[in-house]
Structure 1
Amino acid sequence: MFVSVSRRTDIPAFYAPWFMGRVREGFCLVPNPYDARRFSRVPLSPRDAELILFWSKNPAPLLPCLDELDARGYAYAFTFTLTPYGPELEPGLPDAGARVETFERLSQRLGPLRVDWRYDPVLLDARFTVSYHEERFARLCERLAPLTTRCIFSFADPYPHLHGRVRPAPEGEMRVLAAALVRIGSAHGLALETCCERIDLSDLGIAHGACVDAGRAARILGRPVSAAHDAGQRPGCGCVRSVDIGAYDTCPGGCAYCYATHAAARSRARYAAHDPAAPSLTGPLPSGARVDERAMPPLCEAQTRLPL
């Protein structure tokens, strides 16, 4: 199985010690997002976790752990989000220069194929205009394009819990900006793909992408990968199946547009009370908890040897 670490919270940035403890124990317990008393037991041995996908805006705290992951035989890759919004909207992040340096270190160690760049979400409003994004994207592209193979982006969704902090972008503005991003990316040899976007931008040369992509995974692992679609994701998602070991409302980063944090105070409180030795990111199991085994068939096809 593929393991996502994590779409629901930034484990590399805030919970690296917990994750490494779970790696050493060989499993973790994942809370059901809809039932606080139900947990899944997810095996994390290198045999079970065929590929680990790290999702992060600041994976620097995990970098010292990569030697151990390598020594234990894990295959892994990163989806690294770098956006141009600053501390007003992203208060829990280091400055952009430090994060670009982290991106460089990761790419130099792992190679461009194993470090995707997410320019996501794209906010379009009176402050974050098309010209604003053109200028900032061009600066980032100049630094990051040689370090990755693609840039994945999507336009911000106005989730109800954001209480109007995000407005839906008009399709005309989306298309104008997308054309500009393609022009800038092409000048640097960088392919662009969208994530969970309903708008069709194929006429601009932008494909509907998949963050957990079977083709990319096959190139990383050196063997064929099943393209089983992840039916548990939102409409428009093209990702293959993976198991997410994170939990909602646990990220203390405080990003104003976050889809995974419904209550910032709850997230901060959970982070403050976090126990790195607990089997679950959310701490000890509550009374009466039920634990189910999470078994998934392998996604990697067995390698065959040609007769000599």
Structure 2
Amino acid sequence: MIISASRRTDIPAFFGDWFINRIKEGFAMYRNPMRPSQVFAVSLLPEDVDAIVFWTKNPKNFLEKLKYLENYIYYFQFTITPYGKDIEPNIPPKDEVVQTFIELSNLIGKKRVIWRYDPIIITDKMPLSYHKEKFEELCEKLAPYTQKCIISYVDFYSKAVDELNKINAKDFSADELYNVFGAIGSIGKRYNLSVETCAEDVSIEQLGLKKAHCVDGDLIRELRKEKGFYEVKEYKKDNNQRKACGCAQSIDLGIFNTCKHFCTYCYANFSRSSIVKNVEKYDEKSPLLCSYLDLEKDEIRIKEKDGSRKIEKDNILQKKFNELKTLEQRSFCTMEEVFSKEGSNDWLEKKVLEYLEKLR
């Protein structure tokens, strides 16, 4: 099982304490973004997690927390672009972010820090020549500390199109993108970087570029082997992503509308008011990120290797109902007695039920 943390928000930048608490507790919960009333619980024990993929633009405050991940295989997708505050309003000064990139690489090795020059946005004020210049400047600083750079062109998602139109971002054809990727890729190769395109339906093989696998089964197998795990695992393609995406299946612990970078091109934020509302729910000790459980309405499921199963929480709800009627009655036995009677050794289900009991 691969954990993604996260395509939907910047966990290392904003929710690092929450994530490490989940590591310490050994499990986390997350909502199905397509069906929000469906909540999954997933084990985060080292023996259950093949790898963790972190996605971030500013993990500076997360570096001191890496000591809690010594028993895990993980790597970072680290985005650094040349944009200013008009496009990335809450990103620190780029020299500071570059220094964080270098520090992270020195801590965990350059194989595990993948640079994303993503997304490429071309406007009248930022033509291709601008990107060639800025990309080379960043290559000079970052190439000694990474092996790979992933690039992509900005997507005109409905939730971002108004902001992109304000800066007159150009929506390019496949032929135009071929030229863009070729120009950027040729610079990267001069710095001995493997340049790969992310989820782009453009033929780039003749340019000497590769199609990216950001959640990368090959890299994970390699890192696991270095850690002493020699089993050969196969990771299926994630069909929940875009058709051109090469990522392996993963479980994403994030939630949309919680990233406080406020980048104008972002696909994961719908509105600032939604972000403010969701972030108010942040509790670093909760299994769920920026969300409250509703015992009556939420369907809670245990995530398993080949699917999931529903937790029958009726006994908990019945206890809540009975306690409202009378404090003198006790409607069900203790948690330990429940598991003793059922003969269950399901550690994760026990942890979830213990948490639900606290919510009564």
What TM-score do you get using the length of structure 1 for normalisation?
0.92
1:197 aligned partner: 200
Residues 1:264 and 2:272 aligned together: yes
**Cα separation, 1, equivalents of 2:298 and 2:179:** 51
Does structure 1 conserve the Cα–Cα contact (< 8 Å) formed by 2:6 and 2:254?
yes
1: CA distance, partners of 2:300 / 2:60: 32
For the structure 1 residues 225 and 141, does the alpha-carbon distance in structure 2 shift closer, same or farther, using more than 3 Å as the test?
Answer: farther
Counterpart contact for 1:215–1:225, Cα < 8 Å: no
State the SS of the aligned residue for 2:124.
coil
**What is aligned with 1:92?**
90
3-state SS, counterpart of residue 116 of structure 2: strand
| SS of residue in 2 equivalent to 1:161 | coil
Q: Which residue, out of 130, 139, 164, partners 1:141?
A: 139
Once the two structures are superposed, the pairs formed by residues 229-248 of structure 1 within 5 Å of their partners are 229-248=237-256
How far apart are residue 187 of structure 1 and its match?
Answer: 1.3
Specify the alignment match of 1:115 in structure 2.
113
What's the offset of the Cα at 1:177? 2.2
Separation of aligned partners in 1, 2:52 and 2:213:
15
**Structure 1 position 127, deviation (Å):** 2.0
Opposite residue 79 of structure 1, the aligned amino acid is: Q
Q: Alpha-carbon deviation of 1:125?
A: 1.8
Note if contact 2:281-2:292 (Cα within 8 Å) is conserved in structure 1. no
Which stretch shows the higher mean deviation, 266-275 or 77-86? 266-275
Match of 1:188 in 2: 191
- Deviation per CA, 1:53-89, whole angstroms, max 9, x where unpaired? 101011112111111211xx11111110111111111
C-alpha separation in 2, matches of 1:293 and 1:258: 31
Aligned residues: 295
* Structure 2 residue 183 is the aligned partner of structure 1 residue 170: no
Q: Separation in 1 of the partners of 2:8 and 2:124?
A: 29
Give the Cα separation in 2 of the matches to 1:264 and 1:32. 21
User: What is the CA–CA distance in structure 1 between the aligned matches of 2:213 and 2:37, rounded to whole Å?
Assistant: 32
State TM-score, norm by structure 2.
0.79
| Cα distance between partner residues in 2 of 1:272 and 1:254 | 16
Matched, 1:293 2:302: yes
Measured at CA, do residues 171 and 165 of structure 1 come closer, stay the same or move farther in structure 2, by a change above 3 Å?
farther
Name stretches of at least 5 consecutive residues in structure 1 with no aligned partner: 298-308
C-alpha distance in 1 between matches for 2:122 and 2:233: 37
The structural deviation recorded for 1:130 is: 0.1
Q: More deviation in 253-262 or 218-227?
A: 218-227
Aligned equivalents of 1:15 and 1:101: distance in 2? Answer: 21
Indicate the SS of the match to 1:83.
coil
Question: What is the CA-CA distance between 1:227 and the residue it aligns to?
Answer: 3.3
**1:184-238 deviation line (CA, Å, top 9, x unaligned):** 1121111100010001111111111110112111111113331311111111111
Q: Is 2:49 aligned against 1:41?
A: no
For residue 195 of structure 1, what is the amino acid of its counterpart? C
Q: Secondary structure at the match of 1:136?
A: helix
**Aligned with 1:62: secondary structure?**
helix
Percent identical among aligned pairs is: 37
Paired AA for residue 260 in structure 1? A
Kept after mapping to 1: 8 A contact 2:258/2:275 = yes
Matches of 2:259 and 2:126, distance apart in 1: 24
**Higher relative contact order structure (alpha carbons within 8 Å, sequence separation ≥ 6):** 1
Question: Match of 1:194, as an amino acid?
Answer: T
Instruction: Identify unmatched segments of 5+ residues in structure 2.
Output: 165-169, 307-360
Alignment of 1:57-76 (within 5 A): 57-70=57-70, 73-76=71-74
Which residue number corresponds to residue 212 of structure 1?
215
Letter of the aligned partner of 2:199 in structure 1?
A: C
Q: Which amino acid aligns with 1:291?
A: I
Return the alpha-carbon distance in structure 2 between the equivalents of residues 61 and 271 of structure 1: 18
Structure (1 or 2) with the larger CA radius of gyration: 2
SS in 2 for 1:256: coil
- Between 158-167 and 40-49, report the one with greater CA deviation: 158-167
Q: Residue type matched to 1:233 in 2?
A: Q
Aligned mates of 1:165, 1:173 — CA distance in 2: 22
Aligned-residue offset at 1:257: 0.3
Q: What is the CA-CA distance between 1:172 and the residue it aligns to? A: 4.1
Quote the offset at 1:150 in angstroms: 0.8
Counterpart Cα distance in 2 of 1:69 and 1:174: 39
Tell me the SS of whatever aligns to 1:21.
helix
